[in-house]
Structure 1
Amino acid sequence: MIDHEALGWAPGTVGELDHHLLKAPSVKLRGAHPGPAGDTVYCIDLRLRRPNAGESLGSAESHSLEHFLLEGFQRLLPRHFIGVGVMGCRTGFYLTLHNEGRRARIEDALETILRGVLAATAVPYARIDQCGHWRDHDLARAQAVAREVLERRAAWRDIA
């Protein structure tokens, strides 16, 4: 059994929640799935925009942010990173980690990545030989989103 509180997650916010109640930006444990060998896969909801509030991310900035999150989590949590993907509703990202579910560690990594977005002069992996839609990036908009999310860092635990 996984002790969500020991990992820093409020038990009442773990799992699927009514999207009318979700706040953004927020970092939420969506699920923790133990494996037969004692390992655990964690799915983290990195919510940058409120659902159903007309605040979704545009294609180019969400694509660029996805690239920054991919590069950053691979670099900062290399033994734990499985993947990151854009939510279909374009209000955030799903982060999947192996054997790393500590909220503070995940939030610190996210903060480091977003600070890197602000300092960047280019989007990682955005060349034609690295990206299937390499022209669909917007560094300036990704930086604006990163700035907004960082400005509200103190509210990341206010899920609903």
Structure 2
Amino acid sequence: MTKKMNVESFNLDHTKVRAPYVRLAGIKEGKNGDVIHKYDVRFKQPNKEHMEMPALHSLEHLMAENIRNHSDHIVDVSPMGCQTGFYVTVINHDNYDEILDILEKTLKDVLAADEVPACNEVQCGWAASHSLEGAQELAKQMLAKRSEWTEVF
């Protein structure tokens, strides 16, 4: 058995998960009663495939901007360094089914987009690294397997 790590995802056996999926990865309670839920939104099978950076980068911009149109509980949308998915963090909201619906609506927004928001040198740290078409292909692939999102293993 490997040593328990501080980072929740480091304790997840990445050889046993089956992407795509949406998994509750953690819950943190604040001193003032706020509750943070972190979701692992996995687009690609770990150690078998990954998202190319321009597509991932554009998908991050599109999701981060559009997801907030569907919920006031969103704290952040963060890409995973392994390029297989994102973390979506919400505050004071614990309805898993509603999170799935919010993600579905957000990915449909990605498909309908005609540009990547904040894709310029003023608003983005690497504006040259974007692909709207790549982001839309990732969203299309994820949506095609919507019925599988709740099956992690």
TM-score, normalised relative to structure 1? 0.86
How many residues are treated as equivalent by the alignment? 145
Contact 2:63 2:110 in 1 (8 A): no
Query: Would you say 1:32 and 2:27 are equivalent positions?
Result: yes
User: 1:54-65 to 2 correspondence within 5 Å?
Assistant: 55-65=49-59
Alpha-carbon separation, structure 1, partners of 2:94 and 2:135? 26
- Aligned residues with identical type, % of pairs: 38
**Among candidates 120, 124, 128, match of residue 127 of structure 1:** 120
Q: Please report how far the alpha carbon of residue 75 of structure 1 lies from its aligned counterpart in structure 2 after TM superposition.
A: 2.2
Match of 2:82 in 1: 89
Match of 1:136 in 2: 129
SS at match of 1:70: helix
Greater shift, 96-105 or 143-152, is seen at 96-105
Q: CA RMSD in A?
A: 1.4
Q: Please report how far the alpha carbon of residue 126 of structure 1 lies from its aligned counterpart in structure 2 after TM superposition.
A: 1.0
Write out per-residue CA displacement over residues 105-139 of structure 1, whole angstroms, 9 at most, x where no aligned residue: 11111111111111111011212221111111101
Write out per-residue CA displacement over residues 26-76 of structure 1, whole angstroms, 9 at most, x where no aligned residue: 0000001112222201111010001011x1001101001101111122222
Q: What is the letter of the counterpart of residue 95 of structure 1? A: V
Match of 1:52 in 2: 47
Where does structure 2 lack aligned partners over 5 or more consecutive residues? 1-7
Alpha-carbon separation, structure 2, partners of 1:84 and 1:30? 14
Q: Please report how far the alpha carbon of residue 146 of structure 1 lies from its aligned counterpart in structure 2 after TM superposition.
A: 0.6
Query: Would you say 1:43 and 2:38 are equivalent positions?
Result: yes
TM-score, normalised relative to structure 2? 0.89
Match of 1:70 in 2: 64
Moved over 3 A (4+): none
Alpha-carbon separation, structure 1, partners of 2:97 and 2:83? 24
